[in-house]
Amino acid sequence: MTIREHLGKLKSIKIAYIGDGNNVARSLAFACAKLGMKIVIASPKGYELDKKSIDLTNQLAAGTTVQMNNPHDAVKGADVIYTDTWVSMGQENEKQKRIADFQGFTIDAKLLSLAPKAKIMHCLPAYRGYEISDEAMESQNSIVFDEAENRLHFQRALLKKLLS
């Protein structure tokens, strides 16, 4: 919803997802396959999206999902740069290891310089200074807070549907 709101379309949009190949990356990959978008997921070695999900999304729409380990290559030509927390609930005991393993995967000015027109998204909560810098979060290209607002509207509509 937020991507369409800001870019006017979904078809042929390229999302560069930088971070853990987790539930957010998986959901985005399947959404891209169904909506005619492409996604490049850049994760450190050992944190990639599972092969089964990549294969399934590419069966739905060939070439939809690409996995790599270089965030700089992933963002080139991206319309949207998306990230998520490096330490999700239940992973708190892995925090220090994850912080070390994810070095170089921060959405910051250096990374954004490779895709200067890309919109920036984060599903929140954000840990500034880790997966995203203050500068990126507050930049003109950030649509993080629009995304959060749209999530509220979607959740309200879903609740109404489920309760009716």
pLDDT value at 89 more than 90: no
What pTM does this model have? 0.95
* Chain position carrying tokens 């985005």: 28
User: At residue 122, does pLDDT exceed 90?
Assistant: yes
Average pLDDT, stretch 100-125? 97
Domains of the chain: 2-163 (3.40.50.1370)
* Predicted pLDDT at 55: 98
